[in-house]
């Protein structure tokens, strides 16, 4: 049942042909079948099946409502850095082990209001710092298509929850590609909305000017309905935009005859895997065949995205993570005085990747280096945003690129941090510029999924979904072959 679309589950539940209890029972059974626990795919860090059943029991009370909810009876997995009242929020870290938030994230409240059933907290790279979900204190998550490989990260657990058929929709978070890259690696759809489109209230901060809640879906329509349920202005988030949210799924049958698709030449370098290039070319040919206009464009500052991102993000992280000191949250180790307690708690509670980024961020913000590194990175970030603005102002509606430079790599294969950081080379620009972007499957190489990426202008997710719906229909089964 959970392998059916969110729209199907909602319609069947609203009509009384399926009960939410049956759907939750199926989701639990599917989690057990695919080995979602720590000894298997390691999808969840916390799952309360009894609570899920209890929530399902309350859904029947809503069937008489005039508007029973856009996601009525749909189970949705939640990334472990999104605050929930009924389950711990640990960010994949020992330093927050067992911590239960006293309040709930706005996106979770909106899911509940839409009739969805939060179904477990998913594994992730510690504090969302990673591209493989290998940096979790609770062990790595495995790719359901090839369990010896990574699912991508940092939202790998949420991606696998959808890709393995446990739930049709899951929430993740993005700072530099942490929804789109795992979506590509797992052969599903992942959406990063415009910065400000979805509330960040209740999302544990990594890099506040980059962080966003994103959505995974088994299909474009699942992702569209999931985003529609959580998007919108939130007075609890000062960065939330008061801009009307369209019905993204309304463009499911729209044509693309007037669509102008840009191909940024910087995203198709000579070093790009020829098989990934071939699948991208085939996807572009399908768009042309549907009547879209395709032209080459340039985003000249793209090659600076990774160095800019890995200055800005660690700098903000070093500030945000200062609050985890053993005093207010979670884990604590006693030491010699207050400073000793801080050192003992952090040296044990934080993993190596988090420690590395805190050190880097503190360095670039320190006296004598702030202007040389952080200020300069912010200036270049503006140039990257200007590149996108200039292209979209020229009449281009959406951009199409590869999502990642490779398919899912083997667990443990990349030990060099810089090489791992390059996994975000095609995704980090969207976070730096604040524009919406999404990944959808366009085929396979050696049996492993490849994702194609659409990017659009600020708050133009609807046009991005129009293009994605059309390409998904055109590719059909080829997207997963």
Q: What is the pTM of this model?
A: 0.96
By 3-state DSSP, what share of the chain in percent is helix, strand and coil, each rounded to 5? 45, 15, 45
Written as tens digits, the pLDDT of the chain (481 aa) is: 667 899 999 999 999 999 999 999 999 999 999 999 888 999 999 999 999 999 999 887 777 665 678 999 999 999 999 999 999 999 999 999 999 999 999 999 999 999 999 999 999 999 999 999 999 999 999 999 999 999 999 999 999 999 999 999 999 999 999 999 999 999 999 999 999 999 999 999 999 999 999 999 999 999 999 999 999 999 999 999 999 999 999 989 999 999 999 999 999 999 999 999 999 999 999 999 999 999 999 999 999 999 999 999 999 999 999 999 988 888 899 999 999 999 999 999 999 999 999 999 999 999 889 999 999 999 999 999 999 999 999 999 999 999 999 999 999 999 888 889 889 999 999 999 999 999 999 999 999 999 999 999 999 999 999 999 999 999 999 999 8
Burial class (CB in 10 A: 0-12, 13-18, 19+), 337: exposed
**SS3 state of residue 267:** helix
Treating both helix axes as pointing N-terminal to C-terminal, what angle do 274-289 and 461-475 enclose, rounded to 10 degrees?
100
Kindly give, in sequence order, each residue whose CB lies less than 8 Å from that of residue 366, ignoring residues fewer than 6 positions away.
Answer: none
Sign, CA torsion 223/411/121/164? positive
Contact, 462 vs 246, CB < 8 A?
yes
Catalytic residues: 79, 154, 178
91-to-78, 88, 127, 336, 346 alpha-carbon distances in Å: 11, 9, 5, 28, 15
Cα torsion at 469, 471, 475, 481 (round to 10°)? -90
Q: pLDDT per residue over 233-264, tens digit each?
A: 999 999 999 999 999 999 899 999 999 999 99
């Amino acid at each position: 049942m959970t392998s059916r679309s969110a729209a199907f589950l909602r319609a069947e539940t609203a009509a009384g042909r399926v009960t939410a209890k049956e759907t939750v029972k199926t989701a639990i059974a599917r989690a057990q079948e695919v080995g979602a626990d720590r000894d298997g795919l390691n999808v969840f860090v916390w799952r309360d099946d009894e609570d899920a059943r209890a929530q399902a029991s309350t859904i029947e009370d809503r069937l008489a409502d005039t508007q029973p909810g856009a996601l009525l009876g749909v189970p949705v997995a939640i990334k472990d850095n999104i605050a929930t009242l009924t389950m711990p929020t640990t960010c994949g870290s020992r330093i927050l082990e067992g911590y239960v938030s006293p309040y709930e994230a706005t996106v979770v409240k909106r899911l509940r209001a839409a009739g969805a059933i939060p179904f477990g907290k998913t594994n992730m790279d510690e504090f969302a710092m990673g591209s493989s979900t290998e940096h979790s204190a609770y062990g790595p998550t495995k790719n359901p298509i090839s369990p010896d490989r990574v699912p991508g990260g940092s939202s790998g657990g949420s991606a696998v929850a959808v890709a393995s058929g446990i739930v049709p929709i899951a929430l993740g978070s993005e700072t530099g590609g942490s929804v789109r890259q795992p979506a590509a690696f797992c052969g599903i759809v992942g959406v990063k909305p415009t910065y400000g489109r979805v509330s960040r209230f209740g999302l544990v901060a990594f890099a506040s000017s980059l962080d966003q809640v994103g959505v995974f879906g088994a299909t474009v329509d699942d992702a569209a309905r999931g985003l529609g349920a959580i998007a919108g202005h939130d007075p609890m988030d000062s960065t939330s935009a008061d801009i009307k949210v369209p019905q993204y799924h309304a463009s499911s049958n729209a044509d693309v005859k007037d669509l102008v698709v840009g191909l940024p030449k910087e995203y198709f370098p000579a070093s790009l895997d020829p098989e990934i290039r071939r699948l991208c070319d085939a996807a572009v040919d399908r768009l042309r065949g549907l009547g879209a206009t395709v032209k080459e464009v340039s985003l000249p500052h793209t090659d600076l995205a990774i160095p800019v991102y890995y200055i800005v993000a660690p700098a903000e992280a070093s500030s945000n993570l200062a609050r985890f000191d053993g005093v207010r949250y979670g884990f604590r180790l006693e030491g010699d005085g207050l400073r000793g307690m801080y050192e003992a708690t952090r040296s044990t509670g934080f993993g190596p990747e988090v420690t590395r980024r805190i050190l880097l961020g503190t360095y670039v913000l320190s006296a004598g280096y702030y202007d040389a590194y952080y200020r300069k990175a912010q200036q270049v970030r503006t140039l990257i945003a200007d590149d996108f603005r200039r292209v979209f102002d020229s009449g281009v509606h959406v951009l199409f690129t590869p999502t990642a430079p490779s398919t899912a790599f083997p667990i443990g294969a990349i030990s060099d941090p810089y090489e791992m950081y390059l996994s975000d080379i095609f995704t980090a620009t969207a976070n730096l510029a604040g524009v919406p972007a999404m990944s959808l499957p366009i085929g396979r190489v050696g049996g492993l999924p490849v994702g194609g990426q659409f990017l659009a202008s600020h708050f133009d997710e609807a046009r991005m979904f129009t293009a994605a719906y059309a390409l998904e229909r055109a590719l059909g089964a080829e997207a997963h072959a």
